[in-house]
Amino acid sequence: MATSSKVHLSPSQQPVFYVPGIRSETADMTSELLQENHEKHHIFFNYAGFYNNNVSYQRPPYKMYLGSEEYYHNFLGWQEVLNEYIFKGDKRADDMLMRIFSGILYPIIHLGFGVEFEQPKASYLVKSKKAAKAYSPDRRSDTTIIQLLGEIYADMKRASGGRAKYTSQVHITEENLEEKTAEIINTATVKFDFWNIHAVNFSIFFYLFLRQLWLLIPNKIRLLKWKICINLAMYTSPRLSKLLLNKITNYKSKKDSSWEDIFKRVKTYHDNGYTYKLVRALINSE
C-alpha cells in the first residue's frame, strides 16, 4: 500500500493511458526505483536548477521554507493537502498554484503523475520561480485557442498586442469545461520542439483532472485557464512560428506504423523519458 513515505504501484491501477499486460514484477521494480530515487536524489542535480526528470516528492509548503534547498524533503501530501495548499484560493495557495507552473512545467508534470497513480507522495515542487499570470476573462468569447494562436502570430509580426489581449478572450464555464479541455489537449501538439514538448506531455493530465471528484469544478476551471495561458505564452518561445495546420493534417509518414509499432521503437530509444511521455500524451489527444 502506498503511504506518505512509500511508493507502491500496482498492475490493477488504471491511469489515463496504459499498455495492457503489465506484470506485478514490473510494477514492483518501478516502485523500488522510484523509492530509491526519492531517498537518494534531489529534484535538482546541480546548483543551476537542472531537473531530475524522474518523479520526486515534497510536502505541503510553508511560506518561510519556500525556495530553500535545506527543506527539500519536507514537502509531501495528497487530496486534502492539495485542496488546502494549492486550490484553497487564499494568498498562500495562490502562490503555490503559480509555482507549480514554473520550471518548464516540471512541477505540475510531477503532480500529474502523483495524482494519476494515486500516490500519497503526490509531487508539487517549490522552486522560487515566477510563472505567467492567468488573467480573468472580462467578456465571453467563442474564439478558439487555434484562432488565438493565429492572432498572436499576426500581432507579434506587427509588434502589437499584449498578453492580456489574448488571455482575456479565454472563457471557461462548467458547461464548456470538457470541450475546452479537449481543445487545449488538441492544440498543444501544433508546435513541436524541446521547449514545447513539455506543454504536450502535461496535457494528458487535464483529462485526468476532469475525473477527480475531490477537485471542485472552480478549481478545475482555474487549472485549465493556467494551462491555456501557459500554452499561449510557450507558443511564442523560444521563437515565434507560423501555424501550418495543413502540414499537420496532410502529413504522410515515411513508414506506416501502429501505436504498437511505435511502442516497440520507443523501448529502444534511450532518453530522459521525454519520448515515453510524448507518446502517451499523443495517444490521449487522439
245-250: average pLDDT? 86
Report how far residue 19's alpha carbon sits from residue 44's, in angstroms, rounded to the nearest whole number.
Answer: 30
Higher-confidence position of 134 and 113? 113
Instruction: Grade residue 173 by pLDDT with cuts at 50, 70 and 90.
Output: very high
DSSP string, 139-178: S-----HHHHHHHHHHHHHTT---HHHHHTT----TTTHH
CA 281/CA 275 separation, integer angstroms? 10
Residues 6+ apart with CB under 8 A from 18: none
pLDDT in tens, 150-166: 888 888 776 555 667 78
Helix, strand, coil fractions of the chain, as percent rounded to 5: 50, 0, 50
Q: Where are the alpha helices (DSSP H) in 46-162?
A: 79-85, 91-99, 106-116, 145-157
Q: What is the mean pLDDT of residues 234-244?
A: 80
Q: What is the pLDDT of residues 119-149, one digit of tens each?
A: 654 433 322 222 223 333 334 557 889 899 8
Determine the Cα–Cα distance for residues 223 and 184; give it in Å rounded to an integer: 12
The string of pLDDT tens digits covering residues 197-237 is: 888 988 999 989 998 999 999 999 999 999 998 888 888 87
N residues, the chain: 286
Tell which residue, 57, 60, 72, 280, has the closest CA to residue 185. 280
pLDDT tops 80 at residue 239 = no
Give the span between the Cα atoms of 85 and 94, in whole angstroms: 8
pLDDT of 160 reads: 58
The terminus-to-terminus CA distance of the chain in angstroms comes to 33
Read off the pLDDT band of 4 (50, 70, 90).
Answer: low
Grid cell at residue 256: 506506416
pLDDT tens digit sequence for 27-49: 899 888 888 877 776 555 444 44
pLDDT at residue 59, rounded to an integer: 41
Q: Are 65 and 48 in contact (CB under 8 A)?
A: no
Question: Where is pLDDT greater, at 63 or 231?
Answer: 231
What is the 8-class DSSP label of residue 3?
A: B
Q: Of 29-33, 68-72, 86-90, 167-171, where does mean pLDDT reach its minimum?
A: 68-72
pLDDT for the residue numbered 56: 46
Q: Tell me the pLDDT of the chain averaged across its residues.
A: 77
Cell (9 digits) for 217: 469544478
Q: Tell me how far apart the alpha carbons of residues 51 and 61 are, in angstroms, rounded to a whole number.
A: 19
- Number of Cβ within 10 Å of residue 75's Cβ equals 22
